[in-house]
Amino acid sequence: MTQNHTAGESRLERGTRALSEIDGKAGEAVISALADIAPDFARYVIEFPFGDIYSRPGLDLRAREIATVAALTAMGNAAPQLKVHIEAGLNVGLSRGEITEIIMQMAVYAGFPAALNGLFAAKEVFARLDMETEASGRERLA
């Protein structure tokens, strides 16, 4: 995991690097979707959450994604972002089982509906990733 501050790197550069490492293509898609309506906000998304917060050295990315998946499940009103971060969790080393545990635990703090909706979001993300893996496997065989 990077999370180090390369000398002379701007917040935008550092954030772009962190966004790519954590959110992968899903993160880039969000940034593109903002281009016509709020390009400055696209920059802020890269600079503050990724350039400032996720790049801080005091907590590793695995722990940061545990926190984010938990919070988004508990809040229950940000399904698209929860799906992005379920995949981000896998990107930074959480297993599917661990992500499922985090979401289940939210039943205690935010109720069973929040946990159920989180689990169904995870199920959807896992199924999509399986299909993509399968499709790219078929391509390699072809």
**Site residues (CB under 8 A) for a second copy?**
30, 33-34, 36-38, 40-41, 44-45, 48-49, 52-54, 56, 58-59, 63-64, 66-78, 80-81, 97-98, 100-117, 119-120, 122-123, 126
Nearer to a second copy, 72 or 90 (CB): 72
Q: How far is the CB of 63 from a second copy (least distance, A)?
A: 5
Q: How far is the CB of 141 from a second copy (least distance, A)?
A: 26
Nearer to a second copy, 17 or 86 (CB): 86
77 phi, psi to nearest 5 deg: -125, 25
Asked if 23 and 31 count as a contact pair (C-beta separation under 8 A), the reply is no
Token look-up 């990077």 returns: 2
**Beta strand residue intervals within the chain, DSSP E:** none
Q: Mention every residue, 6+ apart, whose C-beta is less than 8 A from residue 130.
A: none
Q: How far is the CB of 140 from a second copy (least distance, A)?
A: 27
Q: How far is the CB of 137 from a second copy (least distance, A)?
A: 21
> What is the CA angle 50-51-57, rounded to 5?
90
Nearer to a second copy, 17 or 65 (CB): 65
Asked if 85 and 122 count as a contact pair (C-beta separation under 8 A), the reply is no
